[in-house]
């Protein structure tokens, strides 16, 4: 019985890891600070702070000119889709890979949920218990690798100070003076680690022949009642 609980704790811990990892990956994808651009000083620029945050799906900056009348300074954001022609090809590839990683994570979550259900209900066939864990682990490891590719690619773009020719309506120069990695990358790295760890744990799970935790508890309860009845007769 202790082995059942050990396996149960391992699967619950792994499920928590990959769930948090998947949530962090989605959150990091929506953040604006994958790259932080430091612009050259220009008195005529509408960007008051001299800093622009470049995300996968939007770019933002603070401006004292392009802001609501009731505020002294406001954050201005411009969104863009993956089909935007002004985005470089490597940027669009990162968008597609990250979307694919999130889809893989969602598929892994469905597979693991089915596997957990079968594990607790005690589905008698080994394939019904073991395979969903393996498939889910494969999905999460693949998602982690995809996000890792995006992180590495982003590091390369930052360190080589690559530019993006934004439309004139964005009021953003095509290249910064310098740029650095933003906080979204740290979140993506944590998400990658969690999903890889959880996926590896799921892949290492060996179903074994058992009747499930819930069904095992029922059998134990029945055995105790039989023993109690025998003692009463004696």
187-205 pLDDT, tens digit each: 999 999 999 999 998 888 7
Closest by CA position to 143, among listed 52, 17, 228, 54: 17
H-run or E-run covering 192 = helix 183-203
* Cα(127)–Cα(160) distance, integer angstroms: 49
Residue 220: its pLDDT value, please? Answer: 46
* Cα(58)–Cα(30) distance, integer angstroms: 8
Angle (CA) 117-118-121 rounded to 5° is 85
* Cα(153)–Cα(155) distance, integer angstroms: 5
Enter the tokens of residue 131. Answer: 């395979």
pLDDT at residue 31 tops 50: yes
């Amino acid at each position: 019985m202790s082995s059942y609980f050990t396996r149960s704790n391992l699967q619950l811990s792994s499920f928590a890891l990959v769930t948090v990892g998947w949530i962090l990956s989605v959150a990091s994808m929506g953040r604006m600070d994958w790259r932080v651009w430091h612009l050259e000083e220009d008195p005529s620029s509408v960007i008051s702070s001299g800093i622009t945050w470049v995300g996968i799906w939007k770019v933002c900056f603070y401006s004292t000119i392009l802001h609501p009348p009731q505020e002294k300074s406001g954050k201005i954001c411009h969104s863009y889709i993956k089909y935007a022609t002004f985005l470089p090809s490597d940027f669009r590839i990162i968008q597609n890979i990250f979307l694919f990683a999130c889809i893989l994570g969602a598929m892994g979550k469905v597979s693991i949920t089915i596997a957990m259900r079968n594990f607790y209900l005690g589905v008698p066939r080994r394939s019904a218990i073991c395979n969903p864990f393996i498939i889910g682990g494969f999905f999460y490891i693949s998602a982690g690798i995809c996000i890792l590719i995006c992180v590495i690619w982003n590091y390369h773009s930052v360190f080589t100070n690559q530019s993006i020719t934004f439309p004139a309506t964005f009021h953003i120069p095509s290249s910064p003076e310098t740029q650095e990695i933003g906080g979204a990358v740290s979140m993506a790295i944590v998400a990658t680690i969690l999903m890889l760890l959880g996926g590896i744990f799921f892949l290492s799970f060996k179903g074994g022949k058992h009747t499930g935790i819930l069904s095992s508890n029922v059998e134990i309860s029945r055995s105790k009642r039989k023993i109690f009845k025998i003692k009463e007769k004696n």
